[in-house]
């Protein structure tokens, strides 16, 4: 259990920037949903959907390849330098290309009057791609504190600038325009800008991150090793396709909503859907923090003779935590989470998709745990195939269920949510079945089904029994959560002495 405790400890440390950062970032959601119309927030969501997709292309699986070869090569600095030089070279080429045709790109994505958005995001993508390997290097070196510090600085700058431009500047100019601060702000602030300041804040944070990573970047040997580079690319190439297909599953629903819905409602619907998507805050925070710690851990643990036993136990605890997160989020949704995170009532109409998306993200987390089999065995092409199957499901169901005209307005973003649910569910099942052939791990499927089934049962009870008084409803939902915790304790109690 020492290995599991180490993973839990590192997940907690990596979770510090993830938890605090996500909480602070999600506290911007009330600001955005208050300051911006749903159509403007939809534009922000569309650009970040593109960013997520291109980030996968620009890193092309090099992070995972770095972890793989860092465990197998004697000269670890050679692995770091080779991966680093590869990403710098490809990222700079991407930047120069996009900057030269930014106007055409803006037209292609249907924002012809905002080529500056394209240029800003080209810089953001380039800087973030270059920072990927230095961050991976810190994780491989077991330096989670420095990793967390840099991540937190990035998040703090980003959020601080958002608050400065979207709240402080308008307040000063409207109340104290003639004072010192008023004159200073009038020289740097453009009142006609809105979402532009979200993008500018992100760019500033990305620049600072690269500066903070310079001590790692400066240690690279400016010599690429062709044989190692080819091996890393051969390993990473299928992961590129897996990542691209994965981003189709994660983000293309917002892009398809933007282009398939009637033009008069498209941006607004994307904004509503995106705001509700973000309600899965606790689930995405935990899975994100867990992934940072788990990937290097899985590769390092593979050398141990009891590795498969450890992987199975980790899955048990993972299922317990994500099931509890689902319950906490859904049972306190109406009384705490929606009023806190989503200020405008126009966004509330989409809250019916939240349980579907929460469960979809739970499936994704399980799939990510299962994916160790093709990463450890080097059969990364299976990752590409599984993600491709998911992408086909996502695209087919979205094209089927998103209406193409006002007369056919049936499913809208509800169709996108269910497509995501089915996509991740299928990927999870297929990964388990295929993985048992190449890298069999004795996962406790009965426990998985039991915890998940009981979670859904308690949520169904909360949907049927809904006291009118808020205090009674909160109390009843708290009792349901305690019942789940009690069941987990009774089931896991026989194993507790072996954990201590």
Over residues 460-499, the pLDDT tens digits come to 999 999 898 989 999 999 999 999 999 999 998 876 544 4
DSSP-assigned letter for residue 178 = T
Neighbours of 236 (CB within 10 A): 24
Distance CA 383, CA 324 (A): 28
C-alpha span between 120 and 102 (Å, rounded): 10
pLDDT in the model for residue 381: 87
Per the CB < 8 A criterion, the answer to whether 218 and 47 are in contact is no
Which of the residue ranges 184-193, 413-422, 478-487 has the most confident prediction, judged by mean pLDDT? 478-487
446 by DSSP, 3-state: which? helix
How much is the pLDDT for 427? 94
Q: 9-18, 143-152, 293-302, 341-350: which range is least confident on average?
A: 9-18
The count of structural domains within the chain is: 1
Residue 308 has pLDDT above 50, yes or no: yes
Confidence of residue 47 (pLDDT cuts 50, 70, 90): confident
- Residues 239-244 have a mean pLDDT of 80
Whether 4 shows a pLDDT value over 80: the answer reads no
DSSP state of 408: G
pLDDT higher than threshold 70 for residue 335: yes
Residue 423 burial (CB count, 10 A): 29
Q: What is the reported pLDDT for 16?
A: 64
What pLDDT shows up at residue 31? 75
Reduce the DSSP state of residue 281 to 3 states and report it: helix
Given this model, what pLDDT does residue 9 score? 66
Handedness of CA 491, 494, 499, 500 (dihedral sign): positive
d(CA 24, CA 161): 13
Torsion of Cα atoms, 32 then 34 then 40 then 41, to 10°: 40
Q: Which residue has the higher pLDDT, 310 or 426?
A: 426
DSSP state of 137: H
Percent of the residues in the chain that have a pLDDT greater than 70, as a whole number:
90
Q: Where residue 261 falls among pLDDT bands split at 50, 70, 90?
A: confident
In the chain, the percentage of residues whose pLDDT exceeds 90 is 38
Of 381 and 454, the structure prediction assigns the larger pLDDT to 454
The per-residue pLDDT for 11 is 63
Of residues 81 and 9, the one with the higher pLDDT is 81
The two structure tokens encoding residue 41: 């927030």
The Cα 277–Cα 419 span in angstroms is 14
> Is pLDDT of 405 > 50?
yes
Residue 446, domain extent: 2-499
Q: Binning pLDDT at 50, 70 and 90, where does residue 18 land?
A: low
* Of 27-36, 45-54, 114-123, 250-259, minimum mean pLDDT range: 27-36
> What's the mean pLDDT in 176-185?
83
Residue 262: what pLDDT?
A: 81
Q: pLDDT band at 500, cuts 50/70/90?
A: very low
Average pLDDT, integer, range 348-355: 87
Question: How far is residue 9's CA from residue 316's CA, in Å, rounded to a whole number?
Answer: 17
> What letters, b where the CB count within 10 A reaches 16 and e where it falls short, cover 320-351?
bbbbbbbbbbbbbbbeebbeebbbbeebbebb
With 90 as the cut, is the pLDDT of residue 129 above it? yes
Instruction: Report the alpha-carbon distance of residue 70 to residue 324 in Å, rounded.
Output: 35
């Amino acid at each position: 259990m020492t290995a599991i405790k180490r993973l839990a400890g590192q997940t907690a440390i990596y979770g510090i920037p993830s938890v605090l950062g996500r909480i602070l970032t999600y506290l911007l959601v009330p600001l955005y949903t208050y300051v911006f119309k749903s159509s403007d927030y939809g534009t922000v969501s569309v650009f970040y959907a593109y960013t997520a997709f291109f980030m996968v292309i620009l890193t092309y699986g090099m992070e995972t390849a770095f972890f793989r070869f860092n465990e197998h090569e004697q000269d670890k600095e050679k692995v770091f330098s080779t991966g680093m030089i590869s990403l710098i070279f490809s990222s700079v080429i991407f930047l120069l290309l996009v900057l030269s045709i930014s106007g055409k790109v803006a037209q292609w994505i249907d924002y012809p009057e905002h080529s500056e958005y394209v240029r800003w995001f080209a810089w953001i993508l380039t800087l973030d791609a270059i920072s990927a390997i230095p961050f991976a290097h810190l994780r491989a070196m077991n330096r989670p504190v420095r990793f967390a510090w840099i991540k937190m600085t990035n998040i703090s700058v980003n959020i601080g600038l958002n608050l400065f431009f979207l709240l402080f500047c308008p307040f000063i100019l409207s109340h104290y325009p003639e004072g010192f601060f008023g004159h200073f702000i009038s020289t740097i602030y453009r009142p006609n800008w809105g979402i532009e300041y979200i993008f500018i804040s992100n760019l500033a944070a990305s620049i600072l991150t690269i500066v903070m990573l310079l001590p790692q970047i400066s240690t690279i040997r400016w010599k690429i090793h062709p044989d190692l580079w080819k091996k890393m690319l051969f390993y990473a190439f299928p992961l590129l396709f897996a990542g691209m297909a994965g981003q189709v599953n994660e983000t293309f629903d917002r892009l398809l909503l933007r282009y398939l819905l009637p033009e008069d409602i498209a941006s607004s619907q994307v904004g509503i859907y995106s705001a509700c998507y973000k309600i899965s805050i606790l689930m995405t925070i935990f899975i994100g923090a867990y992934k940072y710690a788990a990937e290097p851990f899985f590769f390092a643990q593979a050398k141990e003779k009891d590795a498969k036993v450890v992987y199975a136990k980790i899955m048990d605890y993972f299922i317990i935590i994500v099931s509890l997160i689902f319950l906490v989020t859904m049972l306190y949704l109406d009384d705490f989470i929606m009023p806190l995170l989503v200020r405008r009532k126009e966004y509330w109409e989409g809250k019916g998709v939240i349980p579907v998306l929460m469960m979809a993200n739970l499936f994704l987390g399980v799939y990510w745990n299962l994916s160790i089999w093709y990463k450890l065995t080097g059969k990364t092409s299976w990752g590409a195939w599984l993600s491709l199957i998911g992408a086909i499901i996502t695209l087919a169901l979205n094209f089927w269920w998103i209406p193409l005209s006002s007369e056919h307005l049936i499913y809208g973003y509800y169709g996108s949510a269910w497509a995501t649910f089915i996509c991740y569910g299928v990927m999870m099942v297929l990964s388990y079945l295929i993985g048992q052939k190449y890298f069999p791990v004795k996962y406790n499927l009965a426990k998985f089904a039991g915890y998940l089934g009981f979670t859904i049962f308690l949520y169904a009870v909360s949907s049927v029994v809904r006291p009118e008084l808020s205090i009674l409803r909160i109390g009843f939902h708290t009792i349901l959560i305690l019942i789940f915790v009690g069941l987990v304790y009774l089931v896991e109690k026989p194993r507790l002495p072996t954990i201590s």
